[in-house]
């Protein structure tokens, strides 16, 4: 086991990782920008290193500074959390070259799953169902039009190197495809350094269901159950739950088996997530693989009783899984609500500022993963996530009621600060969500209807 781990992230996930490290007797180094010099994760860590100014490209995403901090402090491993450098194969290779263990998949696997067109082709060959689309990246607008004619509109234009819901656009006809192709390739080139895109048929109504993987370096691959992440706004998740409600009989086991097939085909190691779309008829199709810990991992932890960060660290240290698939028996229901510093009534405009009041909820089976405390300033330079409110209950109805109660208790205030709490409570009360009739377009449709009424 490692003696010291450098955490190359910020906010709630940095603090979350540090807490598990402390329980394991592992010392931590947290890197930070000048904007985060007094953050909760920095206050908690055993050691800290300032790696640059607020812009992520000059601090959290500047690999030379992060690696130099690890070497200078004697860290043996680097935990990248999610976002930033967590899915960067070049960073993974640079860590390996310096004798550092990156807590995540191998650089070659990271490179493959980061190329969404290549991994789609590889897993289709392994037997996973995929939506009709292009065979890899398209070479230009003319080929994109040919693919669209073959698979039928509407189509999704997706950046090969995209992630986090970015670099994706829908086209409904030839004129729209020409425009979307031009805009998406330009965006992808600027944002990801790779302008390649591929096409898939678009499902106007589908649910987003993903499966949590845990794999060691000795050939063991487990699936830890599924999560429903369908409540999204512009492909940014708002509420997640485990298990996924109202799936057709046998579908959860089926997509779990698909996920294990994917892990073996990719020679996967560590934590990962295989994401699917489930259409109105209950048919699943593969969407993508995320090679990192996910924001929504706590719901899986609450229903399985596993500390996924602990398991992730153990696997990275070369240890074998102590579980078999038979040992994985999810129990009850868990729901996570993402509390962001955004104003839903102003088009989800970021609303950072000083938190003059920050009073998280408590109560039975209520967990709050937060990267802030009262008096902290929420900087404008990063993702707007303030906290995750995660609850467990014996069944879904009780979990919904508990989540709403917890959100009602959460008091956040400060000059200019607004949060998504009112919207989250509205979604929890929505009849279609309560009846599990929601899909990925549900939130945008709800907000559109509210604006027009």
Residue 334: both structure tokens together: 């868990």
Residue 30 Cα distances to 27, 67, 204, 385, angstroms: 10, 12, 42, 19
Identify which of 138, 150, 153, 151 has the alpha carbon closest to the alpha carbon of residue 198.
138
Active site residue 367: no
Residue with token string 């493959």: 112
φ/ψ (deg, to 5) at 385: -65, 120
Contacts of residues 362-365 at CB distance under 8 Å and 24 or more positions apart, as own/partner, are 362/409, 363/402, 363/405, 363/406, 363/409, 364/402, 365/302, 365/391, 365/392, 365/393, 365/402
- With contact defined as beta carbons under 8 Å apart, do 104 and 113 qualify? no
Please give the Cα distance from 365 to 300 (Å, whole number).
Answer: 14
Please give the Cα distance from 367 to 300 (Å, whole number).
Answer: 13
Secondary structure of residue 145 in the 3-state scheme: helix
Residue 136: both structure tokens together: 């890899």
Active-site pick, 10, 292, 314, 338: 292
Residue 240: exposure state from Cβ atoms within 10 A (0-12, 13-18, ≥19): buried
Would you mind telling me the total number of residues written for the chain in this entry? Answer: 453
Contacts of 450 (CB under 8 A, 6+ apart): none
Secondary structure of residue 209 in the 3-state scheme: strand
Largest Cα span, the chain: 60
- H or E element: which one contains 207? strand 206-215
φ/ψ (deg, to 5) at 222: -120, 145
Active site (catalytic) residues: 292
């Amino acid at each position: 086991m490692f003696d010291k781990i450098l955490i190359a992230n910020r906010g709630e996930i940095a603090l979350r990782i540090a807490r598990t490290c402390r329980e394991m007797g592992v010392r931590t180094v947290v890197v930070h920008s000048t904007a985060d010099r007094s953050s909760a994760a920095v206050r908690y860590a055993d050691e800290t290193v300032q790696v640059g100014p607020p812009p992520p490209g000059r601090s959290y995403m500047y690999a030379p500074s992060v690696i130099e901090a690890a070497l200078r402090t004697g860290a043996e491993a680097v935990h990248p959390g999610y976002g930033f450098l967590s899915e960067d194969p070049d960073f993974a290779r640079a860590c390996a070259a310096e004798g550092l263990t990156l807590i995540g998949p191998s650089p070659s696997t990271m490179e493959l799953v980061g190329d969404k067109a290549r991994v789609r082709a590889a897993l289709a060959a392994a037997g996973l169902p995929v939506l009709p689309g292009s065979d890899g990246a398209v070479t230009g607008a003319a080929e994109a039009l040919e693919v669209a004619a073959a698979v039928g509109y509407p189509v999704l234009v997706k950046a090969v190197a995209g992630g986090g819901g970015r670099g994706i656009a829908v086209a409904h006809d030839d004129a729209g495809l020409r425009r979307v192709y031009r805009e998406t390739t330009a965006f992808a080139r600027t944002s990801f350094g790779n302008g390649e895109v591929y096409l898939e048929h678009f499902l106007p109504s589908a649910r987003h269901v993903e499966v949590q993987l845990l794999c060691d370096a000795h050939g063991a691959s487990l699936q830890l159950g599924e999560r429903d992440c369908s409540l999204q706004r512009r492909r940014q998740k708002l509420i997640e739950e485990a298990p996924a409600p109202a799936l057709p009989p046998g579908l959860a086991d089926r997509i779990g088996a698909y996920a294990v097939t994917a892990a073996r085909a990719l020679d996967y190691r560590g934590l990962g997530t295989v994401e699917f779309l489930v259409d109105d008829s209950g048919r699943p199709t593969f969407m993508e693989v995320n090679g990192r810990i996910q924001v929504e991992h706590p719901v899986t932890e609450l229903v399985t009783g596993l500390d996924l960060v602990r398991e992730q660290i153990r696997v990275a240290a070369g240890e074998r899984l102590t579980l078999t698939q038979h040992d994985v028996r999810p129990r009850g229901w868990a729901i996570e609500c993402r509390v962001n510093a955004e104003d839903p009534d102003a088009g989800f405009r970021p609303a950072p500022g000083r938190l003059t009041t920050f009073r998280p909820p408590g109560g039975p089976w209520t967990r709050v993963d937060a990267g802030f405390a009262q008096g902290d300033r929420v900087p404008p330079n990063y993702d707007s996530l303030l906290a995750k409110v995660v609850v467990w209950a014996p069944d879904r109805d009780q979990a919904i009621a508990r989540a709403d109660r917890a959100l009602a208790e959460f008091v956040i205030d400060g000059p200019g600060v607004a949060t998504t709490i009112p919207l989250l409570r509205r979604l929890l009360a929505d009849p279609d969500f309560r009846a599990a009739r929601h899909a990925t377009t549900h939130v945008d449709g709800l907000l559109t209807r509210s604006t027009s009424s």
